[in-house]
Amino acid sequence: MGLRLPSKVLEHILSFIDSNEDRNSVSLVCKSWFETERKTRKRVFVGNCYAVSPAAVAKRFPEVRSLTLKGKPHFADYNLVPDGWGGYAWPWIEAMAAKCPSLEEIRLKRMVVTDECLEKIAASFKDFKVLVLTSCEGFSTDGIAAIAATCRNLRVLELRECIVEDLGGDWLSYFPETSTSLVSLDFSCLDSEVKISDLERLVSRSPNLKSLKLNPAVTLDGLVSLLRRAPQLTELGTGSFAAQLKPEAFSKLSEAFSNCKQLQSLSGLWDVLPEYLPALYSVCPGLTSLNLSYATVRMPDLVELLRRCSKLQKLWVMDLIEDKGLEAVASYCKELRELRVFPSAPDLDEANIPLTEQGLVFVSKGCRKLESVLYFCVQFTNAALLTIARKRPNLKCFRLCVIEPFAPDYKTNEPLDKGFKAIAEGCKDLRRLSVSGLLSDKAFKYIGKHAKKVRMLSIAFAGDSDLMLHHLLSGCESLKKLEIRDCPFGDTALLEHAAKLETMRSLWMSSCFVSFGACKLLSQKMPRLNVEVIDEHPPETRPESSPVERIYIYRTVAGPRMDTPEFVWTIHKNPEIGVSHLAIK
Amino acid sequence: MRGVSELEVGKSNLPAESELELGLGLSLGGGAWKERGRILTAKDFPSVGSKRSAESSSHQGASPPRSSQVVGWPPIGLHRMNSLVNNQAMKAARAEEGDGEKKVVKNDELKDVSMKVNAKVQGLGFVKVNMDGVGIGRKVDMRAHSSYENLAQTLEEMFFGMTGTTCREKVKPLRLLDGSSDFVLTYEDKEGDWMLVGDVPWRMFINSVKRLRIMGTSEASGLAPRRQEQKDRQRNNPV
């Protein structure tokens, strides 16, 4: 009766299925489908490196070619996760080296990567092609040199916002002298100067190079010489633009840029003097992505640049653009899909920029394709949020950071509940939401009720009580990642919705009111959750009802991890072990 | 809201020792822990909406934390934060030299400044700080400070209060610089030597500091004494 699909046929069918979500579904059909799927999966994504053991992954997917891993919780970006928490790449590299020698691509985010790891990668994977490290730390330029020297087929080497122990610019000279297969090189986060002649020669012998992101140590002269050698670039991250303005320098730069006819993405531009911006005018009409978020250029100069960028889809900029500048963007950049506006002053006290909610309203009205927003602003209004929601129901990602904590609608003095309600209700495809400003529990009732597709939610300084968490955990069906800081609730809602936590990737709560007792209970009752208490003081030395500093809860099939530092406490699953030995260090 | 389907919070399921109170309005333990549960509320911040004229009143004893003093707020990544701080340092440097908007600076001078600035971006501006007896280390941005006093104040705030909250009221100040407390502030310089903080000019210090450590005074006796008349403390390192 049962027709069995020959595995070769199934394999062929599966070769058309790329999406991992689909493949996950396929693998649940029956054992033989599971087997065929696992043997044919080429790209593996692990959103939390502690959710599953490296050995299990390596064993299950022997043919993996591309591995993507994420380590620390997102709030580590803002210094909320103490150093030494974890996220070590080594066990993964080791496991992969042992079982999956055909691995070609490794992408790591927020992980601790050592030189040893990099050397192991270089030594173990013969056809290694792609290394992308985002927000990683723990390695030095020696490790990079090992990769450069050994991986003969290296195509992509990108260090994005990593913290690297910079031992000098020599690493660049380790690339083989023969022509390289480099397609993308990003060393923008490194500090020290590389020898420009090394870089020039590397670029000259990399005919496939399409993306080059330099570090600030590369001068304008260097940039000119590189552009001359690589006019085929589609993505460029400049070095520092700080240099005395000389007419010949300017015209050389201008000419170099005008020869880059395929440039689509531009970033870097550290310290750019406004006088140099006209050199970029020739590439503006072709740009789809522009990152000016490190360029301390003021509004009039910015607008001169932006009004030429009619094809722009992605714009990152500082609040120096002001409302007026955003109004111009709204009228010139009709293709805009993503806007990020960052603060230009780290301290609120120095902020005196005429950027208000109006800027975002302009862009929402003028840019029909806008779907992703990150906006830092001192204060906001409900009315603006309502307008944004009404005009842009197609928003997928909305991250508003009202810099002043607890700031109400500054015109009506009300909480921003109504505004975020409109966003949650109106933007039906919203996947990512960050809220801020003064918010009561009501806001979260609305979000719980309407934000059915939100997968990631970030909350700070908000809410009144446990109800807030209750609304979110009972309402947001698609919620996968929830991160909360400084909100006045904890235990009850957490325990009530414990089962929900298993449907999510992770929950982070810091400076809230979660007690150690609740953490214990949660951990004991939910075998497939790791409940980590991150607190410098041993929780057992305090009353069980006292709050812990931080908790990080995530689902896992790997059990409690063994690499926790002294300030991370995992609670033993077996209550019979007893209270005094509850924590495993 | 006490409806619990997945979890029984009835006593029969809990180990005898733990008597959990899971009510809303968490009762904090007594004693030292009274302070720890305090999180920042609207009262802690200068009045919202007003411009920064309120800051003159903000430094008297139990001053509320400015939003920039709250750890991790505003939520800007490390690289960007460093860049912002450096921009301010450069602005300040230019202001000091009293130049106008379009001063023509000599090529190497500017290169010098930008190299110095760029040398400090992205990670190097922040140095690690560890305090004896405290498990979690912190990071402090050297570029965001202008003097030893400034730095000491930040460190004192950092290590005597919860991260993310500050409870200066009930706590004995650290007084790291005047030798009167149980702790001294030391640093590791580029050569790997540990020195007492405060001896060299500030600028020289920030260019050579690699790491900071708040050390118990008894341990610090191996370091070069800052003053001839050191007050001898016989206490052990507090834990």
- The tens digit of pLDDT for each residue in B36-75 reads 334 555 556 544 333 333 333 333 333 344 444 578 888 9
Q: Is the Cβ–Cβ distance between A132 and A144 less than 8 Å?
A: no
Cα B130 versus chain centre, distance: 11
d(CA A233, CA A248): 23
Q: Which of B20, B166, B211 to mutate to test the interface with A (most CBs of A within 10 A)?
A: B20
pLDDT at B120: 35
Using pLDDT thresholds of 50, 70 and 90, give the confidence band for residue A197: very high
Cα separation, B42 vs B46, whole angstroms: 8
Interface test with A, best of B114, B154, B166, B212 (most A CBs within 10 A): B114
Paired tokens of B119: 């040398």
Per-residue tokens: A578: 């007893």
- Are A407 and B39 in contact (CB < 8 Å)? no
pLDDT value at A182 more than 60 = yes
A549 CB-near residues (< 8 Å, 6+ apart):
A510, A511, A534, A535, A536, B162, B163, B164
Q: Do B111 and A243 touch (CB under 8 A)?
A: yes
DSSP string, A327-382: HHHHHH-TT--EEEEE-S-SSGGG------HHHHHHHHHH-TT--EEEEEES---H
A134 close contact with B: CB closer than 8 A: no
Provide the 3-class DSSP secondary structure of residue B236: coil
- Cβ contact, residue pair A410, B30, below 8 Å: no
CA distance B231 to chain A (A): 30
Angle at B232 between CA B231 and CA B233, to 5 degrees: 115
Residue with the two structure tokens 């240099």:
A243
Q: What whole-number distance in Å separates Cα of residue A582 and Cα of residue A539?
A: 10
Q: Give A252-298 pLDDT, tens digit per residue.
A: 999 999 999 999 999 999 888 888 999 999 999 999 999 999 998 99
DSSP codes joined into one string, B120-176: HTTTTTEEEEEETT-SS-EEEEGGG--SHHHHHHHHHHHHSS-TT----TTS-----
3-state secondary structure of A550: strand
Question: Cβ of A567 under 8 Å from any chain B Cβ?
Answer: yes
Partners of B111 on chain A (C-beta within 8 Å) are: 219, 242-243
Strand B138-141 vs strand B126-131: parallel, antiparallel, or unpaired? Answer: antiparallel
Q: Pick from A485-489, A527-531, B125-129 the range whose average pLDDT is largest.
A: A527-531
Whether residue A554 has pLDDT greater than 50: yes
Query: CB distance A343–B84 less than 8 Å?
Result: yes
Name which of A504-508, B85-89, B117-121 the model is least confident about. B117-121
Residue A163 structure tokens: 């913290």
- Cα B150 to the chain's mean position, in Å? 10
- A407 touches B: beta carbon within 8 Å: yes
- How far lies A158's CA from each of A31, A105, A400, A490, B131, in Å? 39, 12, 29, 40, 35
- From the list A580, A38, A191, the residue with the least C-alpha distance to B119 is A191
pTM for the predicted model, two decimal places: 0.79
- Are the C-beta atoms of residues A243 and A219 closer than 8 Å to each other? yes
Say how far apart CA A317 and CA A252 lie, in whole Å.
26
Interchain CB distance below 8 Å, B37 and A470: no
A555 touches chain B (CB under 8 A): no
Residue of B nearest to A575 (CA): B15
Q: Which of B11, B17, B35, B48 to mutate to test the interface with A (most CBs of A within 10 A)?
A: B48
Residue ranges of domains in chain B: 126-164+171-219
Query: Is residue B111 predicted with pLDDT exceeding 70?
Result: no
Helix/strand/coil for A515: strand
Distances (CA, A) of A363 to A28, A399, A430: 44, 15, 18
A525: closest chain B residue by CA = B7
Higher pLDDT among residues A568 and B141, named by residue: A568
Q: What is the CA radius of gyration of chain B?
A: 23
Contact indicator for A348, A315 with CB cutoff of 8 Å: no
Q: What is the mean pLDDT of residues A570-578?
A: 60
Contact B12, A503 (CB under 8 A): no
* Residue B160: per-residue pLDDT: 64
Phi, psi at residue A187, to the nearest 5°?
Answer: -120, 35
Quickly state the pLDDT bin for B232 (edges 50, 70, 90). Answer: very low
Which residues of chain A neighbour B15 with C-beta distances below 8 Å?
575, 578-579
- Whether residue B74 is preceded by a cis peptide bond, meaning omega within 30 degrees of 0, is yes
How far apart (Å, rounded) are the C-alpha atoms in residues B132 and B153?
18
For chain A, positions 490-509, list CB contacts with chain B under 8 A: 490-493, 495-499
pLDDT tens per residue, range A52-84? 999 999 999 999 999 999 999 999 999 899 989
B80: closest CA among A289, A322, A401, A341? A341
Token output for B199? 């001896």
Most confident of A1-10, A261-270, A534-543, B146-155: A261-270
Is the per-residue pLDDT at B235 higher than 70? no
Q: In the prediction, which pLDDT does A254 show?
A: 94
Residue B66 and residue A348: Cβ atoms within 8 Å? Answer: yes
- Flag whether residue A248 sits within 8 Å of chain B, measured between CB atoms: no
Q: Considering CB atoms only, which of A75, A488, A517 is closest to B18?
A: A517
Residue B136 token pair:
């979690």
For chain A, what percent of residues have pLDDT higher than 90?
78
**B17 or A167, higher pLDDT:** A167
Q: How confident is the model at residue B218 (pLDDT cuts 50, 70, 90)?
A: confident
User: DSSP character for B31?
Assistant: G
> Which of A248, A273, A515, A524 to probe the B interface (max B CBs under 10 A)?
A515
Residues of A in contact with B73 (CB under 8 A): 78, 405, 460
Q: Is there a contact between A348 and B88 if contact means CB atoms under 8 Å apart?
A: no
Taking CA atoms, what residue in A is nearest to B104?
Answer: A244
Mean pLDDT score of chain A: 92
What was the ipTM of the complex prediction? 0.87
Type and span of the H or E element at A94: helix A90-99
Could you give the CA distance from residue A483 to residue A553 in angstroms, rounded to a whole number? 10
Tokens describing residue A226: 């590189």
Q: What is the mean pLDDT of residues B160-170?
A: 40
Tell me the range of A79-93, B1-15, B102-116 where mean pLDDT is highest. A79-93
Q: Which of A296, A465, A579 sits opposite B24 (nearest CB)?
A: A465
Contact list, A293 vs chain B (CB under 8 Å)? 80
Query: Element (H or E) spanning A316, and its range?
Result: strand A314-318
Q: Which helix (H) or strand (E) holds A439?
A: none
Contacting residues of B for A410, CB less than 8 Å apart: 48-49
Q: Which position has the higher pLDDT, B149 or B46?
A: B149
Asked if A410 and B165 come within 8 Å (Cβ–Cβ), the reply is no
Nearest CA distance, A485 vs chain B (angstrom): 9
Give one DSSP letter per residue of A165-188, joined into a string.
E---GGGGGGS-SS-----EEE-T
Optimal mutation site among B9, B57, B118, interface A, most CBs of chain A within 10 A: B118
Residue found under tokens 């411009």? B51
- Tell me how far apart the alpha carbons of residues B113 and B109 are, in angstroms, rounded to a whole number: 6
Q: What is the mean pLDDT of residues A132-145?
A: 96
- Give dist(CA A1, CA A3) in Å, integer: 6
- Chain B residue numbers touching A511 (CB-CB < 8 A): 39-40, 162-165
A54-68, A99-113, B155-169, B220-234: least confident range: B220-234
- As a whole number of angstroms, the distance between CA A131 and CA B170 comes to 50
Question: Residue B120 has what DSSP assignment?
Answer: H
Q: Can you tell me the mean pLDDT for A236-261?
A: 89
Size of interface A-B (CB pairs under 8 A): 239
pLDDT above 90: residue A235: yes
Phi-psi region of A420 (alpha: psi -120 to 50; beta: other; left: phi over 0): alpha
Residue A524: what pLDDT? 87
Contact A179, A207 (CB under 8 A): yes
Q: How confident is the model at residue A243 (pLDDT cuts 50, 70, 90)?
A: confident
Q: Say whether residue A19 is in contact with chain B using an 8 A CB cutoff.
A: no
Q: Is the pLDDT of residue B81 over 80?
A: yes
Weakest mean pLDDT among A49-63, B5-19, B139-153: B5-19
Question: CB count, 10 Å around CB of A352?
Answer: 9
Q: Are A143 and A174 in contact (CB under 8 A)?
A: no
Residues 459-478 of A with CB under 8 A from B: 460-461, 465-467, 470
Q: Is pLDDT of B223 > 70?
A: no
Residues of B in contact with A377 (CB under 8 A): none
Instruction: Choose the mutation target among B14, B71, B73 for the interface with A, i.e. most A CBs under 10 Å.
Output: B73
Pick the closest to residue A516 from B39, B133, B37 (CA basis): B37
**Closest residue of chain B to A353, computed from CA coordinates:** B51
Q: Which residue of A has its CA nearest to B5?
A: A496
Cβ contacts of residue A121 below 8 Å, gap of 6+?
Answer: A93, A97, A106, A128, A131, A147, A151
* CA-CA-CA-CA dihedral for A572, A576, A579, A582, to nearest 10: -20
B126-164+171-219 architecture in CATH?
A: Roll (3.10)
The candidate with the shortest Cα–Cα distance to A486, out of A522, A512, A447, A448, is A512
Residue A28, chain B, CB below 8 Å: the answer is no
How many Cβ atoms are within 10 Å of A396's Cβ, its own excluded? 16
